[in-house]
Structure formats: structure tokens, C-alpha cells
């Protein structure tokens, strides 16, 4: 093997070793896109819930609360694109994310009990404040 080929082969091995655990050609959603496409529509469903009658309405709310949890995991890491990775290391960022995820868990237990009042309270008292607090600290202005 000629030296140049050998160097290329070694570079190839080094790149393979440095690659992430799964192939990811695209950086994925950024923080704003997570907010606009996942967090806002799902929390709006929870906040707008009233006069819930059917199983499919409860199921839709359950899915919304679970989706907030899933997005919380992404937010906690600073977003898949990593732009907020530095901020995500801060204690307050982690606390706001944890509060939001805890609120989603409260919503889930209210939903499991088909308890509309508990769902309303979880939405207003628990789910809303972390949005406000995190935005006050971190929304770019």
C-alpha cells in the first residue's frame, strides 16, 4: 500500500470512530422549531381542553402530554442541533425543563383519571410557569 493510501485509510478509520452512535446526516430540529412544531401545539391542546367527553379526546390529550415529555428530553440536551448545548448545562435551564416535564406527568395522571379539573390545574399552575421563566432567561432579544 502506498503511503498516501495508507493515510487515507487511517483517516477513514478515525472518522468512523468519531462518528455518532447512529448516522445523522441532518442536524434535526433547532430549539425554535421544537417550540413551534411540538411544544406550542401540544401544550395548546392541553390548555384548550374542556368538556372532554370521548375516549378519543382523552387519548389525544394523553398523546399531547407524552409528546411534551419527549420534547423535554430534546430541550434538556439543548436541542438536537446543539445550538443551546451551553445554556442547557445551566442549572436553571435544567430546572425549567424538569418542571415542564413534571407538569406533563401531572397532566398524564389527570388524564388517566379522566379528571378535567386536575388537568386544568396542571396546565395552569404547573405547565405554564416554566415556559415563562425559561423564556425570560433565554429568549433571544
**Residues making contact with ligand HEC (CB under 6 A):** 31-32, 35-36, 39-40, 43, 75, 84, 93, 96-97, 100, 127, 130-131, 134-135, 138-140
Looking at the Cβ atoms of 12 and 41, the one nearer to ligand HEC is 41
Looking at the Cβ atoms of 33 and 59, the one nearer to ligand HEC is 33
CB of 96 to ligand HEC, least distance (A): 4
Cell of 90: 445551566
Looking at the Cβ atoms of 83 and 118, the one nearer to ligand HEC is 83
Question: Of 132, 128, 93, nearest to 107 (Cα)?
Answer: 128
CB of 124 to ligand HEC, least distance (A): 12
Between CA 117 and CA 18 the distance in angstroms is: 50
Between CA 50 and CA 76 the distance in angstroms is: 30
Between CA 113 and CA 116 the distance in angstroms is: 9
Amino acid at each position: 500500500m502506498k503511503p498516501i493510501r495508507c493515510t487515507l485509510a487511517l483517516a477513514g478509520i478515525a472518522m468512523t470512530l468519531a462518528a455518532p452512535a447512529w448516522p445523522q446526516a441532518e442536524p434535526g430540529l433547532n430549539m425554535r422549531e421544537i417550540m413551534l412544531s411540538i411544544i406550542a401545539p401540544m401544550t395548546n391542546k392541553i390548555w384548550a381542553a374542556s368538556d372532554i367527553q370521548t375516549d378519543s379526546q382523552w387519548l389525544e390529550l394523553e398523546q399531547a402530554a407524552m409528546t411534551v415529555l419527549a420534547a423535554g428530553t430534546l430541550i434538556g440536551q439543548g436541542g438536537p442541533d446543539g445550538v443551546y448545548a451551553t445554556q442547557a448545562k445551566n442549572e436553571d435551564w435544567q430546572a425549567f425543563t424538569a418542571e415542564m416535564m413534571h407538569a406533563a406527568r401531572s397532566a398524564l395522571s389527570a388524564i388517566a383519571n379522566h379528571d378535567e379539573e386536575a388537568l386544568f390545574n396542571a396546565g395552569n399552575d404547573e405547565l405554564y410557569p416554566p415556559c415563562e421563566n425559561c423564556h425570560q432567561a433565554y429568549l433571544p432579544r
